[in-house]
Structures are given as C-alpha cells and as structure tokens.
Copies of this chain bind each other. A is one copy, B any other.
C-alpha cells in the first residue's frame, strides 16, 4: 500500500464524516466558528509569522524569484486581512437550505429543490497562504469539508494557519476534520487527491495555467477550471475614445498579475488613425510593451511585431498584444480564436454592436464600457470567491458560496405510486 495514497484517502474519509455533520450545522454555528477562527488567527499572529519566516527563508535559499516570495511572505497586516476575510464570509447569507424551486403537482406530490453542500472539496494551489484561510472559510460556510493541498513552499505557513483554524472551529463545536492539510512534501499527494473519485467530490485548482492544465489532465475527480484569463478589450468604430483609453489602461495596468487583466487590444479600423497613436503613447508611458501589428508598429518604433503566440499569451505583466481589425465580426472571430473564455470587453456607444459582441464572444463575463478588472466576486457584489471559473459546467465566472453547493429534490407524498 502506498503510504501517501493511504494518507490522502484517510484524510478524505475523515473529511466525509465531518462533511456529513457540517451539512446540517445551522448558520449560527458556522458563523460563530468563522468569527472564532478570525480572532484566533489574529491572536496567533506571532506564531504564523514565525512559521512563515521558515518558508520564506527556505524560498530565499533555493533562489525563488522575488515576486514569488512577495506572495508567500506574511506580515501582521496580511494576517489581519485573512481574519477580515473570514468575518466577511460570516456576514454573507448561508446558501444551504435555500429552496431553489418548489411546487405541488396536480397529483398532490410536493416537490422542493433544496440547496445542499457538495461534500468534500480538494483545493490544489500554489504558494499563496491567503488561499488557505479563504478556501477553508468559504468551504466551511457552504457546509463543505476541504482538503487543502498547497505548495510545499508554503507548507509551514499553511500548517500553522490550518492548526489555528481547526482548533477554533472545534472549540466552536464543529468538526475539526472539516479542514485538513494534505502534505505537500511528496508530490504524489496531489495526484492521489485528484484520483480519489468517490472519496472527493470536486477538485478546484487555483494557480497558473500549468497547474490548472495538469489537474485537468490528471484528475478523475470532477474539476472546476479557474482563472486563466487571456482577456481582450475591443475598441469599436462607435467608441468614445477617451473612455476607451481609460478602459484599456485600467484593464491592462491597474494590476497585471491577475486573471482579469487585459492581455490583448483590438481596434476597429474606422478609429485606428485617431486611437492607435494615443493608446500607444499612453501604454508606453505606463511602461507597457506592445506586441503590435503593422498599424501599431507604424505609431511607435518600440512596438514589437506581434505573433499568433503573443495573441495566445496571458502575459500577467506590462505587455499587451494589439491589432487593428476590419470589422466587429473580425474582432469576434479573433477573440473566439484566442480567448480563454474569461472576460471580453467592448467599448462602444452602439447598442447593436454591444449586443452583437455579447452574442458572439463565448466568455464567462462580457464588459460593455467597463474595465475587464470588474470580473471579481467582491467587485460584482457576490462577496468572497474561491476562484473564477472559465468552464461552462456547474459554475461560470466568480464562484462564491452558492457555486459551492449542489441540490437535492425532496419529494413528499401521502403514499403516491405510479
């Protein structure tokens, strides 16, 4: 028997038992546990920072790039932010028990479709300790047990966060096994988690495109893909060009390392002469490297010739691909070819163009005269999110508490037979 596999399966079995009890926990108990966990994290700040310091030291010694260490490193403010995140989750309404639909049939059978937890969730993610607290809180509130398989680079930090949260929720009367760490030291633990069909109900990968593709390829447990965003901004013939400039700059530069940042710019030829020189200058001033077609290259010698690979790339950096298109149809065709189905934006004052664009692209979110950066659970008013789904099944777009549930039909009769 493979020891790592047995560890993962044993954790999943304990999670199932915890999930069964958590499924019927009233909202008050779950909120009390979340608030207790928030307080406990703040109280344990020194311990968390000590554990984190070990991870950061090891990362430095192994030559980890600075921006990766920046994501890994904690301070008192970040711990306070975890805690606030849990308090925000406590303040959200509880999706469990919601009657999604209900009716009484002509024969008197009463039908209710009731929202229930999914069960046991596996999270596979990279070196951001904030995901640990966030995911644990979202799963707890939605009545799910969670198996947290973070990066080995954050193992000490994650272990400390999970220990504090387990103790707090147990003290609040909920099962500690609802939150468990899957050891990351052995790479095979992630594989066994993905292969634990029947023991684990859903795997959610959160991280870069490579991680997500690996999980999709290897998992026999159902997966929700999150987060790869090759987002486009299309500036239509009928665009307000001042607005377009603001939206392009905000979508590209407000934060570059996130999935809802723009990676590609398309401009209708009717406004190319007026807009391309302006946007090239503004992007250059913002430090953005432009991979552009000849129309863009003509505006500035610093523009790099664009390739299909550039059009397909999620840069997550101050880089953008750019091209002039002959028509709205061509813009839609380009987007359909290169899209990751996350967020596509159009800037236009034409209602018909907005409708045609919305119907034509195939994305979790379409922005009309707004920055791509709004595809975000908090920005859209849904509260905490566990990720942004770019697939079509189960959930599409920001995944909040409701998306962490399934339903049961409860059918009540008085001896009904067919």
Contacts and interface: CB of A to CB of B under 8 A. Distances in A.
A380 B415 contact: no
Nearest to A392: B406
A376 to B, nearest CB: 9
User: Within the oligomer, what is the number of copies of this chain?
Assistant: 2
A417 B254 contact: yes
A167 interface: no
B415 A240 contact: yes
A418 B371 contact: yes
Interface residues of A, number: 65
Interface in A192-245: 197, 201-202, 216-217, 220, 222, 224, 240, 243
A266 interface: no
Interface in A388-413: 391-394, 396-397, 406-413
A267 B375 CA distance: 52
A66 interface: no
Contacts of A62: none
Contact of A374 (B201, B250, B359, B418): B418
Given A24-B359, A418-B379, A409 B365 contact: yes
A418 B373 CA distance: 7
Contacts of A246: 415, 417
A240 B359 CA distance: 55
A201 B359 contact: no
A369 B417 contact: no
A369 B220 CA distance: 36
Interface in A338-382: 354, 358-360, 362-371, 373-375, 379-381
Contact of A415 (B247, B358, B373): B247
A150 interface: no
A28 interface: no
Interface of A: 20, 23-24, 103, 105, 109, 111, 113, 118-119, 197, 201-202, 216-217, 220, 222, 224, 240, 243, 246-247, 249-251, 254, 354, 358-360, 362-371, 373-375, 379-381, 391-394, 396-397, 406-418
30 contacts: A113-B397, A118-B393, A197-B216, A202-B392, A202-B393, A216-B220, A222-B393, A250-B417, A354-B412, A358-B410, A364-B408, A364-B409, A365-B410, A366-B408, A366-B409, A368-B410, A368-B412, A368-B413, A369-B413, A369-B416, A370-B411, A370-B413, A371-B413, A371-B418, A374-B413, A374-B416, A375-B411, A380-B409, A396-B406, A396-B408
